[in-house]
Amino acid sequence: MENINPSYATLLKTALRNGTKKGWSGFLWMIKIVVPVSFLTTLLAWSGWLNKIEFIIQPVMGVLSLPAQAALPLLIGILTGIYGGIAAMVVLPFSAGEMTLMAVFLLMAHNMIQEGIVQGKSGIHPVKATLFRLSAATLTVIIVAPWLAVPSPSSITAAPLTFVRTPLFDMLLQWLDVALGLCLKIFVIIMILLTFLEIMKIFNWIVPIVRFMSPLLKIMGLDRNVGFLWMTAILFGLTYGGAVIVEEAKERGLSKKDLEMLHLSVGINHSLIEDPPLFIVLGLNAFWLYIPRLITAILTVHLIRLWQEFAKRYINR
């Protein structure tokens, strides 16, 4: 017993050191996005530029039951990721319902270029993955919107954007206050999560957890052979877990069908530990941040499997 405890203490110390190091590195990388994006968003909103293109973006956002201002956080999130989208979202005036709809969309469709490349290298065409995620996010938001007490698309379209320019110095102070608060929240979340994930890795807890989660894989409509990749995407996300996903997909020799099903599922529903809490700290209801995209991922895989079986029996005979 005397020889066991020190080894566990050493492993824990190593995990904490690695987790802290990766957490700090990740935090520095993220604020390089958050700070300039939040400032640019604030500046664009202050300039009144959004009002000038309202006639273009209002009808598109109306389909999602969102105001025209929501186009900027959604576009930034699609291109840069969750943190960029949040950085843009928190400096604009949205209701809790509108922020929830944007969160649902961004949790499913964010960082599309980088994550599309990762998915393309490990089992699915990046264009297919990207278009599928955007379509799934749009349909999910349309279905969820009536439950969140947000105005109907018609009423949103009819309501013009209001614009009152505050003094430049006041705008800068407001931005600085919001940006510092957001960076602090990101720092705490990233340090805790990456340290915990390092502990899981160094003590080899991930594989037993995948084995334990086999019944859930069946519900998700996924083969057990992709269980480790699925768990990697669920825990680390497509960006952080990208290297693992790519290498494991090559080594395991998984079928194209299984890999496509995996990517369609995790493209919609990944990074469950890291991403939703970023919206929860903004006061949004956790139910809407987890359940809609989980249901969408389950239905997607099962419906595709049903269609493939139908096509095999009656179309491709």
C-alpha–C-alpha distance, residues 316 and 295, integer Å: 29
> Nearest-CA neighbor of 13 among 194, 199, 192?
199
Residue 1 has a pLDDT of: 42
Domain boundaries, the chain: 4-315
Residue pointed to by tokens 């909103």: 45
Residue 157 has a pLDDT of: 45
C-alpha–C-alpha distance, residues 303 and 297, integer Å: 10
Residue 103 has a pLDDT of: 96
Residue 159 has a pLDDT of: 45
Angle made by CA atoms 223, 228, 231, in degrees to the nearest 5: 100
C-alpha–C-alpha distance, residues 80 and 69, integer Å: 18
C-alpha–C-alpha distance, residues 129 and 259, integer Å: 12
Residue 227 has a pLDDT of: 82
Residue 29 has a pLDDT of: 76
C-alpha–C-alpha distance, residues 169 and 121, integer Å: 47
Residue 315 has a pLDDT of: 79
Residue 53 has a pLDDT of: 64
The tens place of each residue's pLDDT in the chain, 317 residues long, gives 444 455 878 888 888 888 888 888 878 877 887 788 778 877 877 776 766 666 667 777 888 999 888 888 898 888 878 888 898 898 888 999 999 999 999 999 998 887 888 788 777 888 999 999 999 999 999 999 999 876 654 444 444 445 456 788 888 888 888 888 888 887 887 788 778 878 877 888 877 877 787 888 999 999 888 887 888 788 878 866 666 677 667 766 778 888 889 999 999 999 988 899 999 989 999 999 999 999 999 999 999 999 888 888 877 66
**For 250, phi and psi rounded to 5 degrees?**
-70, -45
Sign of the alpha-carbon torsion through 64, 66, 71, 72: negative
Residues 6+ apart with CB under 8 A from 13: none
